[in-house]
Amino acid sequence: MNNTEKTMDKIIALCKNRGFIFAGSEIYGGLANTWDYGPLGTRLKNNVKDAWRKRFIQERRNSYEVDADILMNPRVWEASGHVQSFSDPLLDCKECKMRFRADNLIDDFDPEAHADGMTKTEMFDYIKAHHIPCPNCGKHNFTDIREFNLMFQTYRGVTNDAKSVIYLRPENAQGEYVNYPNVLRSMRAKLPFSIGQIGKAFRNEITPGNFTFRTIEFEQMEFQTFCKPGDDLDLYDYFKDFGKQFFMDLGLFPSLGWGEINGTHDRTDFDLSRHQEYSGQKLEYIDPFTNERYVPYIVESTYGLDRTVLALLCQAYDEEVVDAEKNDVRVVLHLNPAMAPIKAAILPLSKKLGDKAMEIRDELSKSFMVEYDETGSIGKRYRRADEVGTPFCVTYDFDSETDGYVTIRERDSMEQVRVPIAEVEDYIASRVQF
Ligand SMILES: [Zn+2]
């Protein structure tokens, strides 16, 4: 019994085999750092989005959601600073042609060197002085360091000239910032209020990914709170706790470490001041009580959606010894039932009972995602449901024909109860809410 250890390889294999996450463009050999969500992964991701939307938009006062375009006026990215300084310092090995980030080379060589505080010239000199070898071929023969902008760039229209350059957004936030005056006016909003958005962002990074942890295309759930200068510090503390609570409610625990899936920042008036300057539009707020004018401060709270999904999968994955003597181990995803892609599996004990079981499936499907499974022994079908985190299995058996009850088996405890068919929907619905 030594195979009950969680590893990323096992989680990746489960994701692939059970329809959570596939390698992007797989039949063409894939494309580095791209992944496609399969049927169950898409549901899991949608459940996270729904939970976020409920907690951040629906339940909060003065909170509005927008869905801004991925393509924006290129001036936005000049104002935000991304055209100027959103870049990685890269260099190529002249021997094997591999490309590396200079700061990574230095940090891997000596974690105490702190490359993030060095200029381009200092990094180049350090690599030379320490004769840092190429991690791929071991030789020391690098090009100069060049700044490589992380924004994906494309051209609008038919001519590929500098005037037609547009970018895929590298973050969602600017879509919320530029819509500040629209939301303020159309929703008759008053400070403090928030604009949230769920959407894709793109970064042309060369750093390898660790599954879906770092990808070139990813989805963010962002929340920007506009406030009076001076109110920002309290809001910053508030949203740090609010975000932590959200993750705990999803079923994550701090032992995983938080830092990289959520960031909360006090942006002060930097963003709106820059947009005011670059757009020439006044972005001041006029306090309706005091008539005071000021550019609002922003407290930003950003959530990585793909990283949240990955964290949920990693935490939920378990190999549980059911019977040590028989060497019986079950793979189970202990997902929060509200996050589970499928809420219930409907299982006829015998194929002869399929029609009645299918009726239950059709009825329950009006309320939540369910699955019908009639293949294999009931034990095997339970295990298949456990493996994808389905919290309930509903078995229709020969007694159901006469007494109108079905057996509901719960995933984590594996306990079974008899429930009248008419009450199954309520039984499950009350247990899968976020
Ligand atoms: Zn090399």
pLDDT digits (tens, 9 = 90+) for 1-25: 345 678 899 999 999 999 999 999 9
Tokens of 408: 């509901």
Find the 142 Cα to ligand 1 centroid distance in Å.
8
Position 2 scores a pLDDT of 43
Q: Percentage of the chain surpassing pLDDT 90?
A: 84
Task: Quickly tell me which residue has 């594996």 as its tokens.
Answer: 414
The angle subtended at Cα 165 by Cα 163 and Cα 169, nearest 5°, is 145
CA 88 to centroid of ligand 1, rounded, Å: 19
pLDDT tens digits in sequence order for the chain, 434 residues long: 345 678 899 999 999 999 999 999 999 999 989 999 999 999 999 999 999 999 999 999 999 999 999 999 999 999 999 998 888 889 999 999 999 999 999 999 998 988 888 988 999 999 999 999 999 999 999 999 998 889 999 998 877 777 789 999 999 999 999 999 999 999 999 999 999 999 999 999 877 678 898 899 999 999 999 999 999 999 999 999 999 999 999 999 866 555 578 889 999 999 999 999 999 999 999 999 999 999 999 999 999 999 999 999 999 999 999 999 998 999 999 999 999 999 999 999 999 999 999 999 999 999 999 999 999 999 999 999 999 999 999 999 999 999 999 999 999 999 999 999 999 999 999 999 99
How far away, in angstroms, is 90 Cα from ligand 1 center? 14
The candidate with the shortest Cα–Cα distance to 99, out of 67, 153, 156, 143, is: 143
pLDDT for the residue 87: 86
The overall longest dimension of the chain from CA atoms, in Å, is: 84
Q: How far is CA 168 from the centre of its chain?
A: 18
User: 134 alpha carbon to ligand 1 midpoint, in Å?
Assistant: 5
Residues bordering ligand 1, an ion, CB closer than 5 Å: 93, 95-96, 134, 136-137
> Pseudo-torsion of CA 141, 146, 152, 153, nearest 10°?
-120
**Of 184, 210, 197, which is closest to residue 281 (Cα–Cα)?**
184
Question: Exposure pattern of 275-300 as b/e (b: 16+ CB <10 Å)?
Answer: bbeeeeeebebeeeeeeeeebbbbbb
Which pLDDT does position 3 carry in this prediction? 53
In which region does residue 372 sit, left (phi positive, over 0), alpha (psi from -120 to 50) or beta (all else)? Answer: beta
Q: How far is the CA of 214 from the centre of ligand 1 (A)?
A: 24
Q: How far is the CA of 152 from the centre of ligand 1 (A)?
A: 26
CA of 99 to the centre of ligand 1 (A): 8
Ligand 1 center from residue 105 Cα (angstroms) = 12
Q: Which amino acid is at 32?
A: A
pLDDT of residue 162: 75
- Model pLDDT, residue 1: 37
How many CA atoms does the CB half-sphere of 294 hold within 13 Å?
16
Cα(83) to ligand 1 centroid in Å equals 30
Q: Distance from the CA of 160 to the center of ligand 1, in angstroms?
A: 33
Q: Are 328 and 321 within 8 A, CB to CB?
A: yes
The answer to whether 299 touches 235, Cβ cutoff 8 Å, is yes
- Residue 139 Cα to ligand 1 midpoint, Å, equals 6
Place of tokens 């894939």: 30
Residue type, 416: Q
Measured in Å, residue 35 CA sits from the centre of ligand 1 at 28
Query: Ligand 1 mean position to 202 CA, how many Å?
Result: 28
